[in-house]
Amino acid sequence: MDFKKILYAIMLSFFFFKAAAQQALLDKAEKEYNNYAYADAIEIYEKLAAKGVEDQKMFQRLGNAYYFNAELPKAAIWYDRLFAVNPQQEPKYLYRYSQSLKSAGDYAKADKVLEDFNKKSNTDSRGILFQYNRNYLEQIKMNSGRFEIAAAQVNSESSEFGSAFLDNSLVFSSARRIENKEGKTFKWTNKNFTNLYIAPINANGNTESSVLLNKEINSKFNESTPVFTKDGKTMYFTRNNYLDGRRGKTTKK
């Protein structure tokens, strides 16, 4: 057989298997993404991107996965890549891109993207709000310095959010690991499931050490964002009973 033909056949086989391997990874990442396992999807997509794969859908998914995990500066990186591949995107990507750029501190570009969003979706209340509040940076500057922000004693290295007051205590959500308890991780983030904690507030207005709210409310999955009625006798909170975050419900206790 001619040497050139052999070489051509080898190269063709190489490109075929490379393309097949990339498609298999894309399919796997897509499955993880559709199952709300965003952290796992990110890992696969970023490996493909590092190998030079340029794919519009992949960049959409990467931006979204970081956006839905509240890692907006990282989302901005991939939305940048998305709009470089194809500037003509659905309005939702323009809005997410603008919010991600704001989080990254690029306000001028964020405003430009939000203007494009408003042109494509001029009845959307978010775009209308922007049109009537173009000087939002000036307003923020005018109101800055009025309060001192400091970490509370309840803060940990994990995510704490969704706080509410109950009498003289602070109730909040945390994804911290419960000591002496190893469990499954939340596929959305690949981090611990959230639980509700309560911390007394002392006479100086500072929080003291926090403890789990109670076993009846905290399940093995996610609980978060509590709110209380004025009499403090009823609490509404969000619970998610799935490993991957597909569904959630508001529960009354």
CA distance 183 to 222: 12
Does the pLDDT of residue 251 top 60, yes or no?
A: no
For CATH 1.25.40.10, list the domain ranges present in the chain: 17-142
**Inter-residue contact 46 to 71 (CB < 8 Å):** no
9 band by pLDDT with thresholds 50, 70 and 90: very low
Beta bridge partner(s), residue 238? 224, 250
Residue 56 has a pLDDT of 95
CATH superfamily for domain 17-142? Tetratricopeptide repeat domain (1.25.40.10)
Residue 153 has a pLDDT of 82
Q: Per the confidence metrics, is the pTM higher than 0.85?
A: no
Mean pLDDT of the chain, nearest integer: 85
**Inter-residue contact 114 to 127 (CB < 8 Å):** yes
CA distance 89 to 161: 32
Q: What percent of the chain has pLDDT over 90?
A: 51
139-173, pLDDT tens digit by residue? 888 888 888 877 788 888 888 999 999 999 999 99
167-222, pLDDT tens digit by residue? 999 999 999 887 655 567 888 888 888 999 999 999 888 888 899 998 888 888 88
Does the pLDDT of residue 14 top 50, yes or no?
A: no
